[in-house]
Structure 1
Amino acid sequence: MRLAHAAMALGMGVSGLSVSAEALAHPHGWIDLSVQVMTDDQGVASGLYQTWRMDPFYSLVVFEELQQVENASLEQGLDQLGKEIRDNLSGEHYLTEISINGERQALGEVSEYTAMERDGRLVFMFILPLETPQSLTDSTLTYQVFDPTYYIEVVHEADDNQPTDDALVLQGGPACELSILPANPDPELVMQAALLDKGESGEPGLGRYFAETGSVDCTGR
């Protein structure tokens, strides 16, 4: 199995793909993200239902390569791709950090996922469970989704630079205040990222400073 450079940066294994890093700018691609925070009627959070829409260029290359695989339909290729993405992301904590009242939460393993084509874009959808469900009563849940090396940029779905209504949704549970906080990296880090060559990734941890933060504030409600 050969792995695309861009896919490796995300921990995503893609059979037979050979995306050229030289064809991409830095960040070398992006993901449009939407998140549903899953809770029950008592306000106990069980995980995040995430939808990742890969950028059009990366999606195009993936679909072209999948269509060239002999004796396999696009649907079969996407099924295999989804499994490889899930398997490789599992070693990277699914590029996701979740905290409740500032305390980092342990994550479970993803068992529900799918990869599909939608309007010319590769879409990967999955449920990322908390290892132990947690009550959001009088609590604040925050999360970040990011590639540590900042090879890929992850941003919430937006329209005119404003998050869309479905970029962050609370599924079930109490009425809470939802917000998406923009990244505010130090200018030196912005310069560091800008100086990376086409084939380079940043130092591990760089992506954190460019990550948006989703917040579900249920305090006093």
Structure 2
Amino acid sequence: MNRVKQCTSAAFFMVLSWSAAAHPHSFISLQSEPVVKDGLLSAFKMRWTMDEITSSDLLYDAGNAKPGSEVWKKLAAEVMANVLGQHYFSELWHNGQRVKFDNRPDGYGLERDGLQAVLTFTLPLATPQTHCRADVYLFHLRPDLLRRYVL
């Protein structure tokens, strides 16, 4: 009987520990601004301010490195690799059709803003879109995090 209790207890605590092994998530303050060139929506300028936990991890790794140094460039490349791997954590819809992003962001960087890390980049569209007073919907991270632009 004692062995049954031990096995049951072990199984119970293993199930409880699954949540402890969950993937951590970041909370990001997002700013996005449409870029219109020659009458076409061509990109979005992004500014993502990381939460305190993510920022502390990045800022610890940056140490006392000067802005624009190789340390910051390496950290920015690591963060952008994650962002690219998740399709920029975003979806764009224009006139009811999903719009693809280009695979390479235009200029990106990571910097310190007080006690927070900030990722900036330009998110280019694979094909620029006409904007004749059309609705453009940019979803970040989840469909309920919606930014609507009327161009």
TM-score interval w.r.t. the shorter chain? 0.7 to 0.9
Q: 1:91 to 1:62 in 2, by over 3 A?
A: closer
Partner of 1:143: 138
2:97 to 97, 103, 109: 103
Output the CA distance in 2 between the equivalents of 1:32 and 1:96. Answer: 14
For residues 106-145 of structure 1, what are the structure 2 equivalents within 5 Å? 106-108=100-102, 109-145=104-140
Output the CA distance in 1 between the equivalents of 2:124 and 2:140. Answer: 14
TM-score, with normalisation over the residues of structure 2? 0.75
Ranges in structure 2 where 5+ consecutive residues have no aligned partner: 1-18
Q: CA RMSD in A?
A: 2.4
Q: Point out which structure has higher relative CO (alpha carbons under 8 A, 6+ apart).
A: 1
Length, aligned pairs only: 129
Identity of aligned residues (%): 24
- When Rg is computed on C-alpha atoms for both structures, the one with the higher figure is 2
Q: Which secondary structure state, in structure 2, belongs to the residue aligned with residue 47 of structure 1?
A: strand
Ranges in structure 1 where 5+ consecutive residues have no aligned partner: 1-20, 147-207
Partner of 2:145: 212
For residues 39-188 of structure 1, what are the structure 2 equivalents within 5 Å? 39-42=36-39, 44-67=40-63, 73=65, 75-108=69-102, 109-146=104-141
TM-score, with normalisation over the residues of structure 1? 0.53
Q: Which amino acid aligns with 2:137?
A: T
Output the CA distance in 2 between the equivalents of 1:129 and 1:217. Answer: 18
Q: Which amino acid aligns with 1:129?
A: P
Q: Which amino acid aligns with 1:89?
A: V
